[in-house]
């Protein structure tokens, strides 16, 4: 038979909680505390990471600004370097495109045959312009892009003119030698001015040079002209 407590509710002895229910509550409380701690830890770590990334971004922006300011401060030096490089290139081009006129005159004095002399000489580093009224020789000279020289003079004999042309052809940097006209002073059909030549042959030659000097140029101070140029003949 089940016992019945006949005491009033207020006089009845209180029942103590069992150990199992108290332990479950403790575990539940510890679980809640652990979850809260994990959330707080995760929040703190995330906040620290965000702050660190913001600091890195700020530092990178500062470094970029400093680098840009330094580049702007050094830009005048860069412009000066470009100007210096441009001037150096211009001087180099001028040096490579220069023509050794002193050598031309020296070689002319050595290759002219004994029975031939010059009355007029003209030279230019710019190519001659083609003239529609000129002959084939003028057309060939106009097509050249290198320096040219015009030689006018006298020769006692016609073969001396051909000999002079052969010698001129072998001179330094000469690309072609063009005969404009050659006629004796007593030739009625000739339009060549024979003033100063008398009854000798008056000739008009155009010497065309290569646009650029060859790499194997003669060394400075070289004054002897080889036999192939007429030296010693």
Give pLDDT tens digits for 122-168: 888 876 554 443 444 455 555 567 889 999 999 999 999 999 999 99
The residue written with tokens 């019945």 in the block is 4
What is the per-residue pLDDT for 26? 81
What is the per-residue pLDDT for 163? 93
Instruction: For residues 112-125, give the mean pLDDT.
Output: 89
Assign 232 a pLDDT band (cuts: 50, 70, 90).
very low
Distance between CA 165 and CA 206 in Å, rounded? 10
Q: Which segment, 63-67, 92-96, 189-193, is predicted with the most confidence on average?
A: 63-67
What is the per-residue pLDDT for 23? 67
Higher pLDDT, 19 or 146: 146
What is the per-residue pLDDT for 70? 83
What is the per-residue pLDDT for 207? 93
Sheet holding 116-124, edge to edge: 116-124, 148-155, 201-209, 174-184
Give counts: helices (H), strands (E), the chain: 4, 4
- The encoded tokens of residue 17 equal 């909680």
What is the per-residue pLDDT for 6? 66
Range 9-32 burial, b when 16+ CB lie within 10 A, else e: eeeeeeeeeeeeeeeeeeeeeeee
The correct answer on CATH 3.40.50.300 for the domain covering 101-213 is no
What is the per-residue pLDDT for 231? 47
Across all residues in the chain, what is the average pLDDT? 77
What is the per-residue pLDDT for 17? 56
Q: What's phi and psi for 208, nearest 5 deg?
A: -105, 130
Question: Under a CB-based contact definition with an 8 Å cutoff, are residues 152 and 123 in contact?
Answer: no
Higher pLDDT, 216 or 103: 103
What is the per-residue pLDDT for 95? 72
Tell whether the model's pLDDT for residue 186 goes beyond 80.
no
Q: Give domain limits for the chain.
A: 24-97, 101-213
What is the per-residue pLDDT for 226? 53
Q: What's phi and psi for 176, nearest 5 deg?
A: -160, 155
Q: What's phi and psi for 88, nearest 5 deg?
A: -60, -40
């Amino acid at each position: 038979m089940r016992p019945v407590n006949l005491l009033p509710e207020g006089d009845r002895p209180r029942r103590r909680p069992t150990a199992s229910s108290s332990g479950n509550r403790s575990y539940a409380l510890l679980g809640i505390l652990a979850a809260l701690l994990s959330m707080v830890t995760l929040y703190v770590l995330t906040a620290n990471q965000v702050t660190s990334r913001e600091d890195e971004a700020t530092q990178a922006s500062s470094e970029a600004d400093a680098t840009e300011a330094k580049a702007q401060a050094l830009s005048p030096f860069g412009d000066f370097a470009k100007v210096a490089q441009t001037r150096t290139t211009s001087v180099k081009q001028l040096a490579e495109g220069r023509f050794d006129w002193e050598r031309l005159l020296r070689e002319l004095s050595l290759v002219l045959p004994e029975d031939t002399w010059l009355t007029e000489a003209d030279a230019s580093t710019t190519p001659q312009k083609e003239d529609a009224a000129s002959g084939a020789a003028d057309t060939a000279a106009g097509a050249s892009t290198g320096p040219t020289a015009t030689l006018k003079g006298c020769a006692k004999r016609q073969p001396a003119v051909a000999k002079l042309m052969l010698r001129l052809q072998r001179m330094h940097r000469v690309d072609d030698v063009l005969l404009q006209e050659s006629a004796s002073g007593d030739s009625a059909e000739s339009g060549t001015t024979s003033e100063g030549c008398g009854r000798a042959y008056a000739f008009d030659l155009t010497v065309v040079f290569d646009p650029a000097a060859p790499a194997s140029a003669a060394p400075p101070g070289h004054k002897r002209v080889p036999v192939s140029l007429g030296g010693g003949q």
